[in-house]
Amino acid sequence: MEVYKIFRFELLKESCGARLGKIYTPHGEIQTPVFMPVGTQGTVKALTKDHLLSTKPQIILANTYHLYLRPKIEILKQFGGLHRFMNWERPILTDSGGFQVFSLAKEKQKTGKHQAKVILTEEGVKFKSHLDGSWHFFTPELVIQIQQIIGSDIMMPLDVCPPYPVSHSQAKDAVEKTLVWLKRSKKAKPKNHQALFGIIQGSIYEDLRKESTLRTIELEMDGYAIGGLSVGEPPQEMYTATEISTQFLPKNKPRYLMGVGTPQNIIESVERGIDMFDCVMPTRNARNGTLFTHFGRINIKASKHKLSEEPIDPKCDCYTCKNFSRGYLRHLYNAQEITGMILGTIHNLRFYSKLMEDIRKSIKEDRFSTFKKDFYQNYKD
């Protein structure tokens, strides 16, 4: 894979709002639109490196919050960064961990495992670890320093991601803090190969989304991420918020819709000009027995698959579909065999990767609208 010292994006073609592009990074090229498998803690759950590579990922996503807590930054520094630590030669994007600081605190409040608490200040955010209850303090500058040690190709700045629903005043406060922290993040970023994206907030409020987008663009970032969505709002609200931002975002920079999502979400968002996606859905669903096919999702544990000699998806070229039947996979899942989760995860990630390949091909051939129509005719959820 050819590598590049300088991060840059090249827009190759547009078709019905969809964009075909290429991102150049020090660890290789990324063809867009692209889906990034989530490797939160330096691994994509249930898969070895060889398993993962068989699904043909171009880039993976890791999380600053989780890596900071475990294995800890001192260890990553000793190993020369995450690429070497996990023996991964391809690009890595790291989320800042801002979302996890708030979401995991809320989760722990429900479970009561640790007395989780978050204190938001102008300087940063103080929080308790979801692992042991110890106190920590993230500032925009520290988050950049951590990601510098991780060595990711694309960094996300510390931001404030409000829940849904949220009041207009709370959403506006999140926009303001995110912008102030972005300026500090940019100032703290070393002049090296790593790219830094700006994150747009504003919840579902049109005026705030527009304001956040325009003010973030003024800072001339390496790319732009649309945050604060896929947190429980109706899909149409998410699409509207995305459209508000993409109509103003510069064409010569990559656009990343954070935490999205279903195959339908991806197709709709590609049509609205998004280039990059990530979501735990394919891996998490695979571990629970929900598998994606060209005809919709299936529950592999269902009794109707007991005697099926068919693959998960006859149109799929993954290792699982080439070698194993639905009947066998159902047995593995119901027997709670780890192999079932492994095979299911391989399939789901390859399904997503192939979906993106087909999307890119349709844009290149100027038939994205036809592709979208055909997809919906076959995919029943």
Identify the residue whose tokens are 């390859």: 350
Asked whether the beta carbons of 223 and 249 are under 8 A apart, the reply is: no
Look at strands 154-155 and 195-200 and give their pairing. Answer: parallel
Q: Is 223 exposed, middle or buried (0-12, 13-18, 19+ CB in 10 A)?
A: buried
278 catalytic? Reply is yes
**Torsion over CA: 355, 356, 359, 360 (sign):** negative
Distance CA 261, CA 278 (A): 7
Q: Is the dihedral of CA 17, 21, 23, 29 positive or negative?
A: positive
Helices (runs of H) and strands (runs of E) counted in the chain:
15, 16
CB atoms within 10 A of CB 117: 13
232: left (phi over 0), alpha (psi -120 to 50) or beta: left
DSSP, res 122: S
**313 part of the active site:** no
DSSP state of 303: G
* 377: phi then psi, degrees, rounded to nearest 5: -70, -30
Catalytic residue among 95, 153, 275, 313: 95
Q: Which residue among 50, 278, 366, 374 is the active-site one?
A: 278
3-state secondary structure of 44: coil
User: How does DSSP classify residue 163?
Assistant: -
Residues marked active site are found at 95, 278
